Structure 1
Amino acid sequence: MSDYIVRATAADNQIRVFAATTRELVEYARSVHDTSPVVTAALGRLLTAGAMMGSMMKGEKDILTLQIKGSGPIEGLTVTADTKGNVKGYAYQPQVILHANDKGKLDVGGAVGAGMLSVIKDLGLKEPYVGQTHLVSGEIAEDLTYYFAASEQVPSVVALGVLMNKDNTVRRAGGFIIQLMPFAEERVIDGLEKKISEISSITSLLDQDMTPEMILEYILSDFGLEITDRIPTAFYCNCTKERVEKAIVSIGKKDIQEMIDDNQPIEVNCHFCNQHYEFTIEELKEIVKRSS
């Protein structure tokens, strides 16, 4: 499998862990949305987090949505994932160009700005669960770390990285989420904090061609790491012409009739995968007829 997520435990289930390699799905997102390097980095980080957080959910039909709305030039990002490793997403402004930050890195924080992170879990209940926190840096990994602590009361370490080639394609992408269970002992907490402090950055690990397993082994080898499973992950959009037609029906007969009166075919674009669907005048007339 190319892109995949590893799920694991350590320290007799006191630590639960997720790690992923996501280069191919982030590169696919870059190619379909034609994103600039800083937007590729921002969207790639959120897609990686979404894939791992989607795999945390239990129900087969559960859906996770991560939404960032910020004051920076990107304006916002939306990512949706399911429990099977399928993930999709888009940036509101895909072509943002910014100077590197003071560390010489892509300035994701500057591109995102100040704002809110929303985590929406549709678990098949009447109302979805919605957790919201302020962005602490706009760098995404830190924002999700804060979200887990503030909204779900789960002490977590989130690391997300995207490395670009000189031709602006994606060289490496991936990350991990390490979480402490409520019954974690002090010695485990202290030991994990010490090990995490020794890591220079997730991108340095990715750039050494380390797999998710190797990264987890590097961090958690002293804690009795147990890998429980591996699942493939990919950029996948479930849009179809039939689904788009339902969206057209929902705008109402009056508005559809106005489109018909304009005597021009319409094109509908899927935000998530940039697929274009054209509807001819005859097809619009059929939609009106069927919705009568």
Structure 2
Amino acid sequence: MSKERVHRFVSSDFTVRMAAVNATEVVRHMQSLQNTYPLATVALGRGMVGALLMASQLKDGQQVGLLFKGNGALGSVYAEASYEGHVRAYTPNPQYQPPNYDNGLSLKEAIGNGTLSVSRHQPFQKQPFHGTVELVSGEIGQDIAHYLHQSHQIRSLVSLGVYLDSYGKVQAAGGVMIEIMPGVEESLVEKIQQNYEDKKPNISKMLMEGASPADLIAPFMEGIPFQEIDHKHEVEYFCPCTKERVLRAFETLGEAELQDMIDKKESSEVTCQVCGKPYTISVSEIQDVKDRVHKASLH
């Protein structure tokens, strides 16, 4: 099976840039790793699609992180993607179930009121660029569009879809992001908006019917010539966890707890919550960590 990629397009006069992706496989992969229930699956799936679309407009080696933090039951949703198509996502409450599904899979209640923080990392940059905006809808796509307008003065349309079957399993996931460059004719903005109103494109339904990324863009851009530009990177679920990072996390436990683990003479099994990779930390490795923590406490 060939891997998908984010497809990028630009209007013939370069005033509108677009990105579209079929992210079904990576969202499905995330669901199988984290065993997410329906609302968390939709939230993380949309977050992953949004991050992939935003990252595709960056440059080599750059990545974007989206942190949706609300007072709803899901708490927070984090998704990050790189220009190269690596993506991952996480929520502390993957198995959250609402009391009922009267609101369908609406995220508004589940995420609640709060903020969207966006960080953009660039290679060789000590500090990432951070921007934070209030959540306007909690439905993720509109919040990303709100962020782009507030922080970068870019008007955009962001349409994200995650479709689940009756068992809550991912059947389709993908999205479209259309960004209008500052200073563009108002009539062009109105045309895209009108296309959207008239056609109400349903991304997940179109994907279920076999739509290509260019098909996803077409209804928004009717009457506006556009062409595809090169973007060869394949999309894959990728987590940069390593044993070193896990050991660094152990340092936060403190000496007493580490000593307790050493006394029990049991190696520790740790699973990365983002990708499900298991790590076995031996007693001697825990001892090394404890020695490091002790040394640091003396300084």
2:137 maps to: 137
State the Cα distance separating 1:289 from its structure 2 match. Answer: 6.3
Conserved 8 A contact 1:52-1:85:
no
Q: Which range moves more in the overlay, 258-267 or 151-160?
A: 258-267
Conserved 8 A contact 2:144-2:158:
yes
State the secondary structure of the residue aligned to 1:192: helix
State whether structure 2 residue 105 is matched by structure 1 residue 106: yes
Report the Cα distance in structure 1 between the residues aligned to 2:117 and 2:144, rounded to whole angstroms.
10
State whether structure 2 residue 42 is matched by structure 1 residue 41: yes
Structure 2 residue identity aligned to 1:266: S
2:245 to 227, 243, 246: 243
Identity across the alignment (%):
29
Pair 185,101 (structure 1): closer, same or farther in 2 beyond 3 Å: farther
1:266 maps to: 268
Structure 1 residue identity aligned to 2:188: V
Q: Residues 44-90 of structure 1: CA distance to partner in whole angstroms, max 9, x if unpaired?
A: 00011111112222142x23211111111111111121110000111
State the Cα distance separating 1:254 from its structure 2 match. Answer: 6.7
Pair 279,133 (structure 1): closer, same or farther in 2 beyond 3 Å: same
Pair 101,209 (structure 1): closer, same or farther in 2 beyond 3 Å: farther
Structure 1 residue identity aligned to 2:177: I
State whether structure 2 residue 33 is matched by structure 1 residue 32: yes
Conserved 8 A contact 2:195-2:219:
no
State the secondary structure of the residue aligned to 2:46: helix
TM-score, normalization by structure 2: 0.88
Report the Cα distance in structure 2 between the residues aligned to 1:19 and 1:271, rounded to whole angstroms.
28
1:121 maps to: 120
State the Cα distance separating 1:253 from its structure 2 match. Answer: 6.2
Structure 2 residue identity aligned to 1:66: L
State the Cα distance separating 1:122 from its structure 2 match. Answer: 1.8
State the secondary structure of the residue aligned to 1:218: coil
State the Cα distance separating 1:167 from its structure 2 match. Answer: 2.6
Report the Cα distance in structure 2 between the residues aligned to 1:49 and 1:282, rounded to whole angstroms.
43
State the Cα distance separating 1:245 from its structure 2 match. Answer: 2.5
Conserved 8 A contact 1:101-1:107:
no
State the Cα distance separating 1:234 from its structure 2 match. Answer: 1.4
Structure 1 residue identity aligned to 2:106: D
Q: Give the superposed CA RMSD.
A: 2.2
Structure 1 residue identity aligned to 2:265: N
1:51 maps to: 52
Report the Cα distance in structure 1 between the residues aligned to 2:10 and 2:60, rounded to whole angstroms.
20
The list of structure 1 runs, each at least 4 consecutive aligned residues, that deviate by more than 4 angstroms after superposition, is 249-255, 286-292
Conserved 8 A contact 2:22-2:174:
yes
Report the Cα distance in structure 2 between the residues aligned to 1:23 and 1:284, rounded to whole angstroms.
39
Structure 2 residue identity aligned to 1:55: S
State the secondary structure of the residue aligned to 1:222: coil
State the secondary structure of the residue aligned to 1:4: coil
State the Cα distance separating 1:100 from its structure 2 match. Answer: 3.1
Q: Which range moves more in the overlay, 254-263 or 4-13?
A: 254-263
The correspondence of residues 176-255 of structure 1 with structure 2, limited to 5 A, is 176-200=176-200, 201-230=202-231, 231-249=233-251
TM-score, normalization by structure 1: 0.90
Conserved 8 A contact 1:266-1:278:
yes
Report the Cα distance in structure 2 between the residues aligned to 1:254 and 1:53, rounded to whole angstroms.
44
Report the Cα distance in structure 1 between the residues aligned to 2:131 and 2:21, rounded to whole angstroms.
24
State the Cα distance separating 1:251 from its structure 2 match. Answer: 6.0
Conserved 8 A contact 1:217-1:225:
no
1:174 maps to: 174
Structure 2 residue identity aligned to 1:164: L
Report the Cα distance in structure 2 between the residues aligned to 1:218 and 1:252, rounded to whole angstroms.
57
Conserved 8 A contact 2:162-2:173:
yes
**Alignment gaps of 5+ in structure 1:** none
